[in-house]
Amino acid sequence: MNHTKQELEASMLQAEIEILMNERQSLLKTTGAAAVFIANLDCRKLPEGNYEAAEMLSNCLNDLSEETLQDALNKAKEDWL
């Protein structure tokens, strides 16, 4: 019976890992899209009331590790090109 309990726990853990990996892919896709948006944004045409939000998003993207940002850009490229 102990063996079955371990198998069940391993199966539940595997399912949770799969959920987290799917969530990571979704977050990478969103982050990549945000990075592309910011990179292509012409701040001269941005309504003044949106400066703070654009800066917040830009700062969040800048805080990412280079590897994570590259993964995000690759994911966005793969999904939209």
pLDDT digits over 45-66, tens only? 989 889 999 999 999 999 999 9
Rounded to 10 degrees, what is the CA torsion of 11, 12, 18, 21? -130
Specify the pTM. Answer: 0.81
55: DSSP letter: H
pLDDT confidence bin for 7, thresholds 50/70/90: very high
pLDDT digits over 9-31, tens only? 999 999 999 999 999 999 999 99
